[in-house]
Chains A and B, each alone.
Chain A
Amino acid sequence: QVTLRESGPALVKPTQTLTLTCTFSGFSLSTSGMCVSWIRQPPGKALEWLALIDWDDDKFYTTSLKTRLAVSKDTSKNQVVLTMTNMDPVDTATYFCARYQSSMFDYWGQGTPVTVSP
Chain B
Amino acid sequence: DIQMAQSPSSLAASVGGRVTITCRASQTVNTYLNWYQQKPGKAPKLLIYGASSLQSGVPSRFTGSGSGTDFTLTISNLQPEDFATYYCQQSYSYPRTFGQGTKLEIK
Interface residues of A (CB under 8 A from B): 37, 39, 46-49, 52, 60-63, 96, 98, 102-106, 108-111
Interface of B is mostly: loop
How many A-B residue contacts, CB cutoff 8 Å?
59
Whether the pair A61, B101 counts as a contact (CB closer than 8 A) is: no
Interface of A is mostly: strand
Whether the pair B98, A47 counts as a contact (CB closer than 8 A) is: yes
Measured CB to CB, the nearest residue on chain A to B101 is: A46
From A37, A48, A49, A109, give the contact of B43 (CB < 8 A): A109
Which residues of A sit under 8 angstroms from B34, Cβ to Cβ?
103-105
Whether the pair B94, A60 counts as a contact (CB closer than 8 A) is: yes
Whether the pair A111, B43 counts as a contact (CB closer than 8 A) is: yes
Task: Output the residue of B42, B43, B97 with the most chain A CB within 10 A.
Answer: B43
Known: A103-B49, A105-B46, A108-B44. A46 touches B96 (CB 8 A): no
Known: A96-B43, A104-B46, A105-B46. A49 touches B99 (CB 8 A): no
For this complex, 7 residue pairs linking A to B, each with C-beta atoms less than 8 Å apart, are A47-B89, A49-B98, A104-B34, A104-B46, A104-B50, A105-B36, A110-B43
